[in-house]
């Protein structure tokens, strides 16, 4: 067809050259030029129409192959990602109230104990001897007091003897109570149920109130503590969804913010948060590092993979969508507004609607107006 047009154009030009001898003025030449241009345009239009018709009839013509998905409303979430540390409400180092030599250790490291259970006995032999002596003295003082009390009641004994006997008895009773308290302090008792993590002294070693003897931990109630930048104060609330990941033990837990600090640290402009953890299997230990994802944005709308978003020369974001025209899949450049992004997804606030078809595989190899073949995933 293009050869026919070329021959036609050559014929027209030859004809015009033959006539050129008859017309010599510039005006006449311009008129001939206009006629030729119009004839060329007309032939090009005819050519385009023929090629278009041939394209429609050509069943063997290959179109670019792409894949596409139908957009649906979905929940888009954005998280703050920070790091925190596991803490335990009940994690203490027990120190003796009185110094003494370790006489007996009744538990082992790693052993579970109950509240009130005896852990370590310090040497209390001297205290026991003192208790025995005081009991003997107190028995004698009670006998003396009872006798003086009878005499006083019979108005035989003197008031001075009666009061002295009473004072002696009460003084010994107070001394005995005090030394029994000391004896109880020589016993290291578990203040709560938990696990004996560390036993510091060995049998026969001397301890004092400044030295820890046992570290006791209750792992049933642990929490993660983290510092969050003050700019997030408006969006972080008690009850905010939080995902905790512990890389060291390959464990992930869904929880929520349990407590928000009311003090802004002036050094790093942050506030503390607490996230409680269910730890029935006791696999989460104090001081374990945790990666936190705290929800700060959630919306129900259109979300698409971030790698499908392209930018044109004006900096506007767009994606390629597919429109059905006369049974053909036509590529459309669709401008969008990306309102938020997290990981590999973006939330599109404008430009896309539910049930729109967005091109994914092959999106970088096509342009607006292309006719494509959609391959099913």
Distance from C-alpha of 189 to C-alpha of 84, rounded to nearest angstrom: 32
What is the pLDDT at residue 40? 80
Residues 366 and 282 grouped into a single domain = no
Instruction: Read off the pLDDT of each residue in 184-200 and give the average, rounded to a whole number.
Output: 94
Residues 84 and 102 grouped into a single domain = no
Residues 108 and 195 grouped into a single domain = yes
What is the pLDDT at residue 217? 95
Instruction: Read off the pLDDT of each residue in 294-302 and give the average, rounded to a whole number.
Output: 95
Q: What is the pTM of this model?
A: 0.65
Last residue of a domain, one of 243, 271, 299: 299
> For the packed helices 125-153 and 159-185, what is the interaxial angle rounded to 10 degrees?
160
Residues 327 and 355 grouped into a single domain = yes
Tell me the per-residue pLDDT of 206-236, one tens digit each, with 9 for 90 and over.
Answer: 999 999 999 999 998 899 999 999 999 999 9
What CATH number has the domain bearing residue 100?
2.40.50.100
Give yes or no for a contact between 32 and 23, defined as CB atoms under 8 angstroms apart: yes
Residues 104 and 195 grouped into a single domain = yes
Residues 270 and 315 grouped into a single domain = no
Laid out side by side, the sheet with 118-122 consists of: 187-189, 118-122, 100-105, 206-207
Residues 101 and 206 grouped into a single domain = yes
Residues 50 and 111 grouped into a single domain = no
Residues 321 and 359 grouped into a single domain = yes
Tell me the per-residue pLDDT of 41-51, one tens digit each, with 9 for 90 and over.
Answer: 787 777 767 66
Among the residue ranges 38-47, 267-276, 321-330, the one predicted with the least confidence is 38-47
Give yes or no for a contact between 90 and 215, defined as CB atoms under 8 angstroms apart: no
Residues 193 and 107 grouped into a single domain = yes
Assess whether pLDDT exceeds 70 at residue 3.
no
The tally of domains found in the chain comes to: 5
What CATH number has the domain bearing residue 308?
2.40.420.20
3-state secondary structure of 238: coil
Residues of the domain holding 160: 124-185
Assess whether pLDDT exceeds 50 at residue 22.
no
Assess whether pLDDT exceeds 80 at residue 182.
yes
Among the residue ranges 196-210, 233-247, 325-339, the one predicted with the least confidence is 325-339
Assess whether pLDDT exceeds 80 at residue 12.
no
Assess whether pLDDT exceeds 50 at residue 18.
no
DSSP state of 90: S
Residues 205 and 102 grouped into a single domain = yes
For residue 251, CA distances in Å to 80, 121, 243 come to 19, 40, 11
Greater pLDDT, 6 or 334? 334
Residues 140 and 69 grouped into a single domain = no
Give yes or no for a contact between 183 and 121, defined as CB atoms under 8 angstroms apart: no
């Amino acid at each position: 067809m293009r050869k026919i047009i070329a021959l036609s154009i050559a014929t027209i030009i030859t004809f015009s050259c033959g006539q050129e001898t008859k017309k010599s003025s510039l005006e006449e030449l311009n008129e001939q030029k206009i006629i030729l241009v119009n004839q060329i345009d007309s032939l090009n239009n005819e050519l385009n129409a023929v090629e278009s018709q041939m394209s429609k009839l050509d069943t063997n013509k290959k179109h670019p192959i792409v894949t596409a998905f139908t957009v649906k409303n979905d929940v888009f979430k954005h998280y703050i990602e920070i790091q925190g540390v596991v803490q335990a409400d009940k994690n203490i180092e027990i120190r003796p109230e009185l110094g003494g030599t370790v006489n007996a250790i009744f538990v082992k490291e790693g052993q579970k104990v109950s509240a009130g259970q005896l852990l370590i006995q310090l040497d209390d032999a001297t205290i026991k001897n003192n208790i025995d002596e005081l009991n003997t003295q107190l028995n004698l003082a009670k006998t003396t007091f009872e006798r003086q009390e009878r005499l006083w009641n019979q108005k035989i004994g003197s008031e001075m003897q009666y009061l002295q006997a009473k004072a002696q008895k009460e003084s010994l009773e107070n001394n005995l109570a005090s030394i029994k308290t000391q004896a109880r302090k020589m016993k290291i008792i578990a203040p709560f149920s938990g696990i004996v993590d560390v036993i510091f002294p060995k049998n026969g070693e001397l301890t004092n109130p400044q030295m820890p003897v046992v570290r006791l931990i209750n792992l049933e109630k642990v929490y993660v503590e983290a510092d969050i930048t003050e700019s997030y104060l408006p969006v972080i609330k008690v009850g905010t969804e939080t995902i905790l990941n512990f890389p060291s033990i390959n464990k992930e837990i869904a929880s929520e913010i349990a407590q928000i600090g009311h003090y802004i640290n002036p050094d790093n402009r942050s506030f503390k948060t607490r996230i409680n953890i269910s730890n029935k299997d006791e696999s989460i230990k104090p001081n374990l590092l945790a990666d936190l994802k705290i929800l700060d944005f959630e919306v129900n709308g259109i979300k698409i993979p971030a790698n499908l978003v392209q930018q044109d020369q004006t900096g506007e974001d767009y994606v390629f969508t597919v429109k059905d025209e006369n049974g053909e899949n036509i590529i459309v450049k669709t401008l969008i507004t990306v309102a938020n992004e997290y990981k590999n997804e973006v939330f599109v606030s404008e430009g896309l609607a539910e049930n729109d078809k967005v091109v994914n595989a092959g999106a970088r190899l096509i342009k607006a107006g292309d006719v494509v073949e959609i391959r099913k995933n």
